[in-house]
Amino acid sequence: MAKYRKLGRTSDQRKALIRNQVTALLYHGKIVTTEAKAKEIRKVAEGLIAMAVREKDNFEEVTVTAKVPRKDKDGKRVKEVVDGKKVTVYDEVEKKIKKDLPSRLHARRQMNKVLYSVTSVPAENAGKKRNTKKVDVATKIFDEIAPKYADRNGGYTRIVKIGQRKGDGALEVLLELV
């Protein structure tokens, strides 16, 4: 007997489907899918959340000096002429960053093996590349989701039955983070 559902797909299609659905669940907080898919997605998602809960405090704050381009009131870079060339003016700024310790870094890499990258597009720029930004779902799990479930031992997702789908009669469910 198999330890997982095959979902009527080849292994590469099944893996892509599960990765896609898990990424959507962790990014949006809930998804609507069939019951069989939801039960498979739940296994993967809960494993990732459990990993993040274990490693949520495993980092150190480091202060670094960074060069940032100076900007004018319109948000454009300030340039000055040096030896007949226009050169951007940079300011040195102190920044605090989170530096992962080795076990958290390993957990982040394990998550990135499963999760796809997400590009968020503002509503007013739908269909355009301008003002889009990449969202790191692994960072979202560590910073937002893991602290919420720190005192909980498993059971991070909930499956709520919605009813049958109109087209093929498959039982649809709402899979959401608790």
Second CATH level (architecture) for the domain 11-56+102-177: Alpha-Beta Complex (3.90)
Q: Which pLDDT score, from 0 to 100, does residue 1 have?
A: 57
pLDDT digits (tens, 9 = 90+) for 149-161: 999 999 999 999 9
Q: Which amino acid, 21?
A: Q
For the segment 79-96, the average pLDDT, to the nearest whole number, is: 91
Cross-sheet strand order for the sheet of 171-177: 30-34, 171-177, 157-164
Share of the chain above pLDDT 90, in %: 85
Q: Which residues pair with 157 in a beta bridge?
A: 177
Q: Within a 10 A sphere around the Cβ of 55, how many other Cβ atoms?
A: 21
CATH 3.90.1030.10 domain locations along the chain: 11-56+102-177
Q: How far is the C-alpha of 62 from the C-alpha of 103, rounded, in Å?
A: 17
pLDDT digits (tens, 9 = 90+) for 92-131: 999 999 999 999 999 999 999 999 999 988 877 777 777 7
For the segment 47-67, the average pLDDT, to the nearest whole number, is: 95
The pTM for the full model equals 0.84
pLDDT exceeds 90 at position 19: yes
Mean pLDDT of the chain: 93
Where does the chain have alpha helices with state H?
11-28, 35-55, 102-114, 137-140, 146-148
Is-contact 49 149, C-beta < 8 A?
Answer: yes
